[in-house]
Structure formats: C-alpha cells, structure tokens
Amino acid sequence: MITVVGSYNRDIIIKVDEFPNSGETIFAKEILHSHGGKGSNQAVSASRLGSNVRLIAAVGDDDLGREAIKFWKEEKIDISKIKTKKNSKTGTAYILVNKRGDTMIIVNRGANFELSEEDIDDADGILLTQMEIREKVVKKALQSFNGLKILNPAPAIIKDISILNLVDILTPNEIEFKELTNADDIEYGLEILLKKVKMAVIITLGERGALIATKQKRILIPAPKVKPVDTTGAGDVFNAALAHYLEKNEDLETSVQFANKIASYSVTTFGAIGPRLEEVKKILEESENEK
C-alpha cells in the first residue's frame, strides 16, 4: 500500500503562446479545468499504475471538493482519510502553459492548509508526501510512518530543515535542490543533503532524466527523448512511478529507469496525471524495441 499525504487543487490551465511580461496583457488560447494538486496527482498516477493507494488530503465543503471525491472513487483511491473542511474552499491552481510546454503556477492553498496533524495516522508500506500542505503535517506524517518514506520537496519551502532527517528518499527537481542547499556546486549540495537523508537523493533533471545519489555512488539515468506538450506534473508522475516500483521491491536504479519512462511519456500529453496500465505496457514495449 502507498499512502500519499498531500494536496488537492482544481487546476485551471491557461494556454498561451508566450508568458506575459510584467504589466503586459495577453490573450489565452484556451482554458481547461482538471484535477490537480501534487498529492492527488501522485496518488492517482500510482493507482493507475496498479498500486493500492490511500490518500490523506483535505477539500472544502463545496462542489470542487465533492467532484474531487467522486474522481478519487473512480480512480480506485482509498478515500477513508479524506477530510472535508467546513468553512474553507477547495485549493485551486492557476497554471500558465506556453507553446513549448513550459509552465508557471500560482496555488491558492485553501483547504489544503486546514489538513492538520490530527488527520494523520500511523501506517506502513510506502509514504509519499510533498510540501503543498503545512510543514508540521508533513513532519507528523514522516514521524508516524513505519515504512519507506519519500519526500518530494515541492515547493521547496522548508523552515525546519531537520525534517529531512526523517526522510529515506528525497526527490527535488533542480530548482528545489538549489533552494534547499543554497549550493551552486551539485556535489557540495549533495553532501549537505546526504548527511541528513537516510537513503538517497534523487534529483529530477527534466529532459536529462534523473540523478541518483547515495553515500556510495552517483548514477545519472537518462530520460527517453520526447517532444513535450505539457510538462505540468512531470515530477508528480515521476514520484508516483518511483513509489510504485519501489513498492514492488525493485532496486533504486530500476525504479528510476521506470519513473523516467513513465514521466517522459506523460509530458507528451496534456494534464498532470500519468498513464494507465494499458498505456504503460505499450510504453515499455516501445522502449524495448528501441534498444
């Protein structure tokens, strides 16, 4: 079982040719609504790959919250720990996507910030959590959990850096890695993080794939070459696929290779959630044929 402790947002995706400059007004090409939030994206992506997933998250007592719960039921997520918070609104995210598939995101946290330490229980299996909820709730989840703990530090706003001592695997992207370490030199930054994190730091590098760093070694695992359409949630799909393979007791290298394949495929389609099992079989077959 994978337990995800994290956020839900209704994503409002605004497609543009180019991002506006400060003070500039531009026209949208299209506006789309979809389910998002890093917690929900990671939970649903892992469930689509075939894992049993329990989500601990909060929504508002509103239509968006009810639609989220309906969506999770359809996606076979265990919703027994979902909280509906009275007097707060479901989180929303405003996502600009330009013609190259780059994104800029503003999140209104709403009910995500009402998820509290009391909403967390202990469990084993794999824990996957991110930073779109209160830091003290992330800390409680990391302290309560008995299994393998993965923290995707997104966004990288961590006040009490000692929570990294509770983490087995940390999965920053390049920007988050810099924000966490203040280091221009990657080796120096890794040394700082590997003194805290118990098992590994995996830096996701966009089109270049991902770097696995443990106390013993560094291994760069390249991603397949693709033509990106929308990179929103690439990190979410990567983390979900990583957790899914680690749950199957695969080793780190094999799990990151799988995560790269699934995440790179996901950037060729719109939306922040990964492919279903049927598509995955095709992706894996194609990657075998390319060898």
Residues that bind ligand RIB (CB under 6 A): 9, 11, 36-38, 41, 93, 105, 107, 132, 232-233, 235-236, 272
Nearer to ligand RIB, 36 or 60 (CB): 36
Please check if 232 is assigned to a binding site. yes
Q: Which does 41 bind (CB under 5 to 8 A by kind): ligand RIB, ligand ATP, none?
A: ligand RIB
Residues 62-121 that bind ligand ATP (CB under 6 A): 103
The active-site residue out of 122, 160, 236, 251 is 236
Active site residue 236: yes
- Give residue number: closest CB to ligand RIB: 36
Residue 190 contacts ligand ATP per CB under 6 A:
no
Site pattern 5..44 for ligand ATP (x: CB under 6 A): ----------------------------------------
Cα 43 to Cα 53, 54, 96, 235, distances in angstroms: 6, 7, 23, 13
Q: Among all chains, which residue has been given the structure tokens 């959590």?
A: 129
Among 91, 209, 271, 274, binds ligand ATP (CB under 6 A): 209
Nearer to ligand RIB, 11 or 119 (CB): 11
Q: Decide if 274 contacts 49 (C-beta within 8 A).
A: yes
Q: Decide if 155 contacts 109 (C-beta within 8 A).
A: no
Distance CA 218, CA 212 (A): 6
Phi and psi (nearest 5°) for 15? -85, 130
Among 61, 67, 121, 207, binds ligand ATP (CB under 6 A): 207
Please check if 266 is assigned to a binding site. yes
Residue 234 contacts ligand ATP per CB under 6 A:
yes
- Angle at which helix 252-266 crosses helix 234-247, to 10 degrees, equals 150
Distance CA 259, CA 277 (A): 14
Pairing between strand 200-204 and 210-213?
Answer: antiparallel
Q: Is 28 exposed, middle or buried (0-12, 13-18, 19+ CB in 10 A)?
A: exposed
| Closest residue by Cα to residue 5 from 157, 170, 132 | 132
Q: Which residues are catalytic?
A: 236
Query: Residues within the annotated binding site?
Result: 9-11, 37-41, 132, 173, 204-209, 230, 232, 235-236, 260, 266, 269, 271
Judged by the rule CB under 6 A, the positions of this chain that interact with ligand ATP are 103, 154, 173, 204-207, 209-210, 223, 226, 228, 231-236, 238, 260, 263-264, 267
